[in-house]
Amino acid sequence: MESNMKSEKKQPAKDRSPDPLHVVILAAGKGTRMKSTLPKVLHRLAGRPMLDHVLETARSLGAAACHVVIGAGAESVRSWYAQAHPGATDVGFVIQEPQLGTGHAVQQAMPGIPDAARVLVLYGDVPLIETSTLTELLAAAGSDMGILVAQMDDPHGYGRILRRTGKVTGIVEEKDATPAQRRIEEINTGVLCAPAKAMRTWLSKIRNDNSQGEFYLTDLVRLAVRDRVRIHTTCVSAAVEVQGVNDRVQLAVLERSYQRQQAERQMRLGVALADPDRFDLRGSLLCGQDVFLDVGVVIEGEVELGDHVHVGPYTVLKDARIGADTRIESHCVIDSAIVGRSCRIGPYARLRPEAQLADEVHVGNFVEIKKSSLGHAAKANHLAYIGDATVGARVNIGAGVITCNYDGANKHRTVIGDDAFIGTDSQLIAPVTIGAGAYIAAGSSISRDAPPEQLTICRAREQRSVRWKRPVKAK
């Protein structure tokens, strides 16, 4: 495909048509090869349904409306969209039942499209098509017809572009092609744009006298040629943009292709990745300078990393903000949390939603923090649970400490003042306040407020029995 690649410096042609754009997204397929109860277009790529990627691209084109044609699993698709995009009004759903081909699918959407519009047809299982590619297609087509094509060394399975003296004369599907036509390497991607009024007329004239007994959208090209409408082609620069998904193998291939693109983009922005092939971005990532991400790091939602942040292997960061010079060791999970500068976290630490760490906080292995704030230079270095708590500056929380925040019905808060020391294996039974500078002896169960600058010990009385005998198993 090298000879057909678009130059990165090439600017899309100015769109010659002022007509409003309506995008039709075909998403009615059963996806039987996915072997799943989930509709194919809801299978996830980079953490989001494939259909969501296509809708985002359509919106980026400034579409006046999107018309999603659904069939198999229609209610699941509607339900997902209502939850993912509450209040959105620019997407409508139409049912294709029975499913009689791509031309028949587009027919179902046409009643909601005005004659003055232009129509762009996309596919819910082709998630990686670029906005720039479609912008170029629309600009080249103007008020005529435009089709997106690709050059493939192995075009098997695709419709072939037929030309005469360089001009497009039609598209022939693989199963209907002659041996000579099957040797053509210029293929139809299925992406097409045309004026709505003309498309409505052509759709009414297509026939299903083919090997599949379906109404092909590609027949519109033949009808446009007959009506002497100019057909403009735009060649896609990378085949991965127009690769569809029919099974889980193809989905995995697209996932790794997408992730490799994201990894390369981050590295060009200055992020150091230990292995670009073991990096997953399922949202957005904003990094300062000299950020290092080790192997297996997963980014979800919106994540921001300050200068010189180091993230260890197999760590998950979701909707998190991490301050400069912070080091996160391996196998940590940080979800909807804010971490200050120069902190040390992990390994095997978990920060749950609404956890907030001030600067220079240490959170060690097997420490879980939820809906709590830790003040400057506080430490919880191992085996602790801190939930619904306000922890002051320079507090030391020993191993095995638990804030007992839940009474079986309601959550209660623990407050620990600056410079307090919480000894190993202590339980703080909320609601409770530990005064500034207080010292809680190891093994204490604290259910009343502990005064500042004093030692508090609360342990059960130790007992011994000289008559005790070690239990033995019955023979």
Strands 118-123 and 186-195 come out as: antiparallel
For 170-204, b where at least 16 C-beta lie within 10 A, e where not — what string? bbbbeeebeeeeeebebbbbbbbbbbbbbbbebbe
Q: How far is residue 80 from each of residues 49, 85, 423, measured CA to CA in Å?
A: 9, 8, 48
Q: At 157, is the secondary structure helix, strand, or coil?
A: coil
- Tell me which residue has tokens 């139809």: 188
The rounded distance, in Å, linking the Cα atoms of 197 and 110 is: 9
Element of type H or E holding 330: none
The rounded distance, in Å, linking the Cα atoms of 97 and 81 is: 20
Q: What is the CA radius of gyration of the chain?
A: 31
Residue 401 backbone dihedrals phi, psi, to 5 degrees: -75, 140
Element of type H or E holding 114: none
Residue 56's contacts (CB-CB under 8 Å, 6 or more residues apart) are none
What's the chain's length in residues?
A: 475
What are residue 365's DSSP bridge partners? 382
Active-site annotation holds for 362: no
The rounded distance, in Å, linking the Cα atoms of 227 and 221 is: 10
Helix 102-109 / helix 196-203 crossing angle, nearest 10 deg: 130
Among the listed residues 53, 156, 382, 412, the single catalytic one is: 382
- Tell me which residue has tokens 């004369």: 169
**Is the bond preceding residue 347 a cis peptide, omega within 30 degrees?**
yes
**Contact yes or no for 349/364 (Cβ under 8 A):** yes
Residue 186's contacts (CB-CB under 8 Å, 6 or more residues apart) are 149, 150, 151, 155, 160, 161, 163
- Identify the CA nearest to 405 among candidates 427, 420, 438: 427
Q: How far is residue 248 from each of residues 53, 255, 403, measured CA to CA in Å?
A: 17, 10, 44
- Tell me which residue has tokens 């744009």: 193
Active site residues: 382
